[in-house]
Structure 1
Amino acid sequence: MKSNSSNKTHGLIAAALTPFEDNGELAINRIPKLRDFLITRGVKGVFIGGTTGEWPSLTTDERLQLSEAWLTQRKAGLKVFVHVGHVSVREAQRLASQAEELGADSITAVAPLIFKPTTVDGLVDYCSSIAQAAPSLPFYFYHFPALTGMTASGLEILRKATERIPNFRGLKYTHETLADYAECVQCKDGAYDILYGRDEMLLPSLSVGARAAIGSTYNYGSPLSCKIIEAVEAGKYDEARIWQNRANRVLEIADQHGGGKSMMRVLGCDCGPYRAPQTNVSDAIITNLRSELKKENLWHSLQTEN
């Protein structure tokens, strides 16, 4: 599928957290607040039901509910990417079909995590069968080797998928190999949408042609990441490096204090706990998180005027 700059994705896409109640049940009622919180902080879209969204811990029915909530309560201008990858192709097709019916902007699928394709051709067959369930929607492959163990390069997958998936649009590229990423960006004179997925490497990805990024830290750290993009667009690379270092330090502090859901709680957009088997943190750790951010003069950088 030929793509030009006018229909490519631009800006930050938050890999949205999935909100839960304290008892572990899905908290659909929290989605409007999360949506509005993200919009006010500069994101251009959401990637729902992904790894950050704890998809392996959700039932298919819960994932359908999650997609329905986001797609029926969306606001103009906010893109919704629906992750539909699954260990069962049939369940993935259910998710893809619903996303198309409800008007998602695109669907995305990661490689299966258990019975894994042994070749790129097998992987593309898996993707093709899912993409066919939503033929009117752009399909992105979620390239995440650290999670899936797939060793093929992004470029190899891109070339094969291009030949065999009519609605193929590009990659969600969550990997560190910038040389391969740059080749994907340049493939067929930039025909495809290659969304970068390593938040701590946003700046270097922009230097090799990234136009958009999908990541977990954009739930809470988007004000910092927007500053990186603004600085690059103004040619202020020294300033961009400062903002990237700050964003990376926020990520380090967050990881030491319970991750993204702890950050959302201290910023006033509580998404509830993680679902088991992930573990949660105490109120004391949340308090320490706020104190640590303030001590390192990062708290103010995470605020917005809204």
Structure 2
Amino acid sequence: MKKLYGTTVPIITPFDEEGKVDVESLKKLTDHVIDNGLSCLYPNGTTGEMLLLSVEERKLVSETVVRQAAGRVPVFVHAGAMNLADTLELAKHAVEIGADGIGVVTPSYFKLSDRALADYYIQVANSVPQDFSVYLYAIPQNAVNDINVSVAEQVAAACPNVVGLKYSFPNMSLLQQFMLIRDETFSVLVGPDELFHVVCAAGGEGTVSGNAQVIPEHYAALWAAIQSGDNEKARKLQRKTNVLNNILCAKNNIASYKVVLREEGVIKTAHMRAPMEELTREEEVALMKTLKEHNYRTV
């Protein structure tokens, strides 16, 4: 079964002036990520404002990205939603359109027991073909619910198609415990991309990075250094990406990504889906000025 690796990009969802999904910009963004050497695509993730989109909008985004990618890189659709029925519908749709797999975030807002969480993931994994890859996804700082090792082990044991986990809280000890699941074949990717290099050194598969769509050349170079075993170069590249990421994430990181992508002609607008906040014009100018001062296009 297919797995995520290297730099997986949870791409933003571009909107047009009327607030609708901008399909043409989404196609250009897909090409932008692939042409700049990044490894995998992950539409409808947190960076894609997924819980603010309707099920039909999410289907449109997934279909557009899978079609535009045309097999050039793996596309794993994020299918996690606010209720089980929508998650199952989005998972089924991902299979139907030819995606390579899905990611599923923990249910949000209502606190679940470990048993309920495991049952949820087992139902989702069993709803798709047994050779269709599923990733667990935990971002406890946003979703309230978390995935511990016991839950991940239980789900992995019950569902062979659950191939790994994306973990978006910076806990290296826990990340390394996940790596031991299923005789160390369980795929682990990290959300906080300042840990990209060290997670790979510890046995992880890579990072899921929203920042990467804005500074793809840095992430492509970092992954190449990791693959070649050039740790000195990887450390230097990781530190450079950390500096740039701090700039991009200083305020409203998703809005910042959209501003840079708009300024560089990849997407048409920097609109966010309400109630998400957009940058002011002053903030946009300051962001671009600071990035240029840090030579953000120079690896």
Q: TM over 0.5: same fold? A: yes
Partner residue, 1:146 = 141
**Which of the residues 115, 122, 125 maps onto 1:131?**
125
**Which of the residues 60, 63, 83 maps onto 2:58?**
63
Partner residue, 2:294 = 296
The answer (yes or no) to whether the contact 1:82–1:108 under 8 Å persists in 2 is yes
Distance 1:73 1:234 in 2: 30
Q: 1:237 to 1:73 in 2, by over 3 A?
A: closer
**Which of the residues 265, 283, 286 maps onto 1:285?**
283
Q: 1:170 to 1:108 in 2, by over 3 A?
A: same
**Which of the residues 188, 192, 196 maps onto 1:194?**
188
Post-superposition Cα deviations, 1:142-200, rounded to whole Å, max 9, x if no partner, equal 022212223442x2222111122242111112121112211222323322221222112
Distance 1:126 1:80 in 2: 23
Partner residue, 1:168 = 162
Structure 1 residue 24: deviation in Å? 1.4
Partner residue, 2:82 = 87
Letter matched to residue 84 of structure 1? A
Gaps of 5+ in 1: 302-306
The answer (yes or no) to whether the contact 1:83–1:107 under 8 Å persists in 2 is yes
Number of aligned residues: 294
Structure 1 residue 271: deviation in Å? 5.7
Structure 1 residue 211: deviation in Å? 2.2
Match of 1:52, SS state, is helix
Partner residue, 2:215 = 221
Distance 2:186 2:196 in 1: 19
1:106 matched to 2:101: yes
Match of 1:66, SS state, is helix
Structure 1 residue 131: deviation in Å? 2.0
Letter matched to residue 263 of structure 1? V
Post-superposition Cα deviations, 1:36-64, rounded to whole Å, max 9, x if no partner, equal 10011111211111100001110111111
Distance 1:271 1:200 in 2: 29
Match of 1:73, SS state, is helix
Distance 2:116 2:96 in 1: 27
Distance 2:196 2:297 in 1: 21
Match of 2:260, SS state, is helix
Match of 2:46, SS state, is coil
Q: Indicate the percent of aligned positions where both proteins have the same amino acid.
A: 26
**Which of the residues 112, 115, 118 maps onto 1:117?**
112
Distance 1:284 1:175 in 2: 31
Letter matched to residue 202 of structure 2? V
**Which of the residues 41, 50, 62 maps onto 2:45?**
50
Q: Could you say what the CA RMSD is over the residues aligned between the two structures, in angstroms?
A: 2.0
Structure 1 residue 100: deviation in Å? 0.7
Partner residue, 1:304 = none
The answer (yes or no) to whether the contact 1:107–1:138 under 8 Å persists in 2 is yes
Structure 1 residue 222: deviation in Å? 2.4
Q: 1:160 to 1:172 in 2, by over 3 A?
A: same
1:23 matched to 2:18: yes
TM-score (norm 1): 0.89
Distance 1:170 1:11 in 2: 14
